[in-house]
Amino acid sequence: MEFKLVYSDVYLKHEPWFHHPENPLRLKILFKGLEKYGLTDYIEVLEPEPADWSSIYKVHVEGYVNYVRRLGEHAPTEIDPDTYVSKGTIESILYSIGGLLKAYREYKNGRGRRFFVLTRPPGHHAGRAGKAMGAPTQGFCIFNNIAILAAHLLDEGYEKIAIIDFDVHHGNGTQEIFYNEPRVLHIDFHQDPRTLYPGTGYPEDLGSGKAIGTKVNLIFPRHGGDDLYEDFLEIALTILKQFKPQVILYSAGFDAYFMDGLADMKAGSKTFHLMASKIIEELKPELIIASLEGGYSVGLEKGAPAFIAGLLGIEDPVGESYKSSIRVRDYFEKKIYYPTRRILNEYWDIYKL
Ligand SMILES: [Zn+2]
């Protein structure tokens, strides 16, 4: 099969001992959604193997990795009030990163071209040394799963890697890690950082040195719906077509789904389906590997199946779409959409859109 879901019960071992939204139940909700929307029969599950620590040291500084390893020995404990380390956390981390690396090996052996790894804990807020870009906490993330995969692909000789992050929060760790790296195009869709953790990721943040223009922050006002996502997806596609990535990686978070719980966006299943289907239709990528980030309730139940259906090349089985109010749409166009286009047009040919 072209598509494989990478999962192991080890991913349930990262488990809080107090009430916390990032808990093993999340993956059960996701599987319930796959069943509810009739996708189970289409899906082959691939068992991951653990990564070794060397892949992590490639991205994160030695002192921080050693610190986390020591915390693992003293679990249960926490890195900060948002980010816990349970007895099974380290094992879950190694199998999550191992799952991403295995997806790539599987592709190289001709056994699939589209993969979604149900990584836990999530990773996109983790910078080189933990907290990224002055964030107050690590936001449930310990090591940056998708960045570790991207670093591995750079070592394998890839020169054009695109990371599409549609989690509702800014992927500040990923942005920090690759800020000076022109071979990584990072397009991040997120709620306006003035209204949501971690408070970073503005359209003016474009990368530095030779990498300038390769960091793209597309932000949404609160209560924005699928129509706003469609507008920015067009811009993302315009940039992607010019960058010509050899591989598409996703930081796949589903917390922008209407009423998912931790944010204020109104995305429906349509957005998550388009994030896969439009990219496949218009770019025809050779390889796609997605890593799970956020999503805490309905986003996992409905958004994740819609995204997976997109990866499978079938229609959105959920069929939910939400339109922004006229007031929100008006604000978006005047204050965000057109100014962002102007900024990006300095580096990409946007106006031909
Ligand atoms: Zn998130």
Q: How far is the CA of 165 from the centre of ligand 1 (A)?
A: 10
Q: What contacts 27, CB < 8 A, 6 or more positions away? A: 7, 11, 12, 118, 120, 300
Residue 125 corresponds to which tokens in the numbers above? 């807020």
Q: Alpha-carbon distance 163 to 184, whole Å?
A: 7
Do the beta carbons of residue 167 and residue 218 sit within 8 Å?
no
Q: How far is the CA of 252 from the centre of ligand 1 (A)?
A: 9
Is the pLDDT at 1 greater than 80? The verdict is no
Q: Alpha-carbon distance 234 to 340, whole Å?
A: 13
Q: How far is the CA of 91 from the centre of ligand 1 (A)?
A: 22
CA distances from 66 to 15, 72, 172, 277 (A): 21, 10, 22, 40
pLDDT in tens, 239-298: 999 999 999 999 999 999 999 999 999 999 999 999 999 999 999 999 999 999 999 999
CATH of the domain at 20: 3.40.800.20
Q: How far is the CA of 108 from the centre of ligand 1 (A)?
A: 30
Rg from Cα positions in the chain: 18
> Is 89 inside any structural domain?
yes
CA distances from 146 to 161, 217, 337 (A): 11, 17, 27
Q: Please tell me the predicted confidence (pLDDT) of residue 290.
A: 99
Q: How far is the CA of 180 from the centre of ligand 1 (A)?
A: 24
Domain count, the chain: 1
Q: Which burial class, exposed, middle or buried, applies to 105 when counting CB atoms under 10 A from its CB (0-12, 13-18, 19+)?
A: exposed
Q: Please tell me the predicted confidence (pLDDT) of residue 352.
A: 64
Q: How far is the CA of 170 from the centre of ligand 1 (A)?
A: 7
Q: Please tell me the predicted confidence (pLDDT) of residue 146.
A: 98
Ranges assigned E (strand) in 253-324? 288-292
pLDDT band at 220 (very low <50, low <70, confident <90, very high): very high
CA atoms within 13 A on the CB side of 341: 17
pLDDT in tens, 49-105: 999 999 999 999 999 999 999 999 999 999 999 999 999 999 999 999 999 999 999
My answer on whether omega of the bond before 121 falls inside 30° of 0, hence cis, is yes
Q: 């944010």: which residue's tokens?
A: 263
Do the beta carbons of residue 77 and residue 85 sit within 8 Å?
yes
Q: 């940056």: which residue's tokens?
A: 144
Q: Please tell me the predicted confidence (pLDDT) of residue 126.
A: 98
From the list 125, 186, 190, 223, the catalytic residue is 125
pTM of the predicted model over 0.85: yes
Average pLDDT over residues 182-195: 98
Write out the residues surrounding ion ligand 1, Cβ under 5 A: 167, 169, 253, 255, 294
> Is 351 inside any structural domain?
no
CA end-to-end span of the chain: 35
Structural domain of residue 155, as residue ranges?
3-344
Q: How far is the CA of 255 from the centre of ligand 1 (A)?
A: 6
Residue 71 corresponds to which tokens in the numbers above? 């915390």
Q: How far is the CA of 64 from the centre of ligand 1 (A)?
A: 22
Q: Please tell me the predicted confidence (pLDDT) of residue 351.
A: 84
Q: How far is the CA of 27 from the centre of ligand 1 (A)?
A: 15
Do the beta carbons of residue 213 and residue 129 sit within 8 Å?
no
> Is 352 inside any structural domain?
no
> Is 327 inside any structural domain?
yes
Is the pLDDT at 299 greater than 80? The verdict is yes
Q: Please tell me the predicted confidence (pLDDT) of residue 176.
A: 98
Q: Alpha-carbon distance 302 to 1, whole Å?
A: 23
Q: 127-130 contacts: CB < 8 A, separation 24 or more?
A: 127/172, 127/173, 127/176, 127/177, 128/59, 128/60, 128/61, 128/64, 128/176, 128/177, 129/60, 129/61, 129/63, 129/64, 130/64, 130/67, 130/79
> Is 221 inside any structural domain?
yes
> Is 233 inside any structural domain?
yes
Q: Is 60 a catalytic residue?
A: no
Is the pLDDT at 45 greater than 90? The verdict is yes
> Is 350 inside any structural domain?
no
Q: How far is the CA of 123 from the centre of ligand 1 (A)?
A: 10
Q: How far is the CA of 337 from the centre of ligand 1 (A)?
A: 22
> Is 353 inside any structural domain?
no
